[in-house]
Amino acid sequence: MRLYWRVLVINGAVLTAATLALVVAPVSVSRHPVVSEAAVLGFGLFLMVVTNALLLRSSLAPLDRVVREMASVDPQRPGRRLKPPDSGPGRDLVLGFNAMVDRLEEERSMSNAKQLAAQEAERHRIARELHDDIGQQLTVVLLGLKQAEQRAPAELADELAALRESTRDGLDDVRRVARQLRPGVLDDLGLASALASLTHDFAEHSSASVRRVVAPGLPPLSSDTELVVYRVAQEALTNAARHAGASAVELSLTKVGDRVVLEVADDGRGFDVRRDGAGLRGMRERARLAAGDLTVTSSPVGTTVRLEVPA
């Protein structure tokens, strides 16, 4: 029943009861009321107010409770919803509130995904410019210095050799930064090579051993989807090495039906998957970019990150 009608009915019922009481009860009010009559009237009025108050309170209390609960929903930790009461005015309010939180979280996650996509595009552009323009220019300088060194008088040779080493360092830096921005191997050689390179780097910088299984004959993925798979694998490996203290990690890329499945399983100490950390949230948002499903299961003996994407 709508809140308006509920209040109206309660007030109406109390007033009706009072009117009936006036009609039925053997009381009358003289032209100049006496004290006893005023006392009876006053008592009747008091009874009406108390009855009304009790009825309204029991009817509105669920609303107050819902309002208090609303404050406990934290946008930083999405996924929490209020439990709607079985009936009463609180139910509609909770249902409406939950639907709004759904829309908000959806919107937020969409805009995060868009932001991620824009960020990747920008990184791609910068990495390409570093490689194609600055890298080439520095290569020209490097080769030119080598030439100059061979023809220069002896007293300049050391100076030129030092300059050449600086140029080489610069070239190495440009390459390193470009690689951090965007794994060129993914664009040039594809996902399987990029994952091979990722596990190779991982093995080099971590004490954990890593096994990689890439099933043959995987269906081709769009370059955006490949990037999502790559970034999720990267994040999962980082977590395994940095937080889980894993000693063995297995990364696999297989086909299930018409979907491609990435699984990264470690034997680390695990974590509480309900506590949505930034890494986990990032993976979820990336999965959404590729219309994929991300599931993370974790126990004290290991964590498995599984990403399913449509081919």
Partner 1 sequence: MRAATSPAPARILLADDHALVRRGVRLILDQEPDLTVVAEASDGAEAVDRVRDTEIDLVILDIAMPRMTGLQAAREIGRRTARGEPPKVLMLSMHDNEQYFFESLKAGACGYVLKSVADEDLVSACRAALRGEAFVYPGAMGALVRDYLDRMRRGERVPETVLTEREDQVLKLIAEGSSSREIARALTISIKTVERHRANILAKLGMRDRTQLTRYAIRAGLIEP
193, 206, 252, 304: which one contacts partner 1 (CB under 8 A)? 193
Give the span between the Cα atoms of 255 and 229, in whole angstroms: 13
Please report whether residue 51 would count as binding partner 1 according to CB under 8 A: no
The residue among 115 and 254 lying less far from partner 1, judged by its C-beta, is 254
Number of residues that bind partner 1 (CB under 8 A): 33
Among 108, 125, 200, 242, binds partner 1 (CB under 8 A): 200
Backbone phi, then psi, for 277, in 5-degree steps? -75, 170
Residue 211, both tokens = 């096994």
Among positions 148-177, residues that touch partner 1 (CB under 8 A) are 150, 164, 168, 171-172, 175
In the set 188, 207, 217, 275, which binds partner 1 (CB under 8 A)?
188
Q: How far is the CB of 222 from partner 1 (least distance, A)?
A: 20
Please answer whether residues 300 and 269 qualify as being in contact, where contact means their C-beta atoms are separated by less than 8 angstroms.
yes
d(CA 44, CA 19): 10
Place of tokens 């470690």: 266
Kindly compute the dihedral angle of the four CA atoms of residues 31, 37, 41, 44, in this order, to the nearest 10 degrees.
Answer: -150
x/- map, 230-269, partner 1, by CB under 8 A: ----------------------------------------
Quick one: 211 or 242, whose CB is closer to partner 1? 211
Block residue for tokens 């937020």? 108
Minimal distance, residue 142 CB to partner 1, in Å: 6
**Distance separating alpha carbons of residues 233 and 140, to the nearest angstrom:** 36
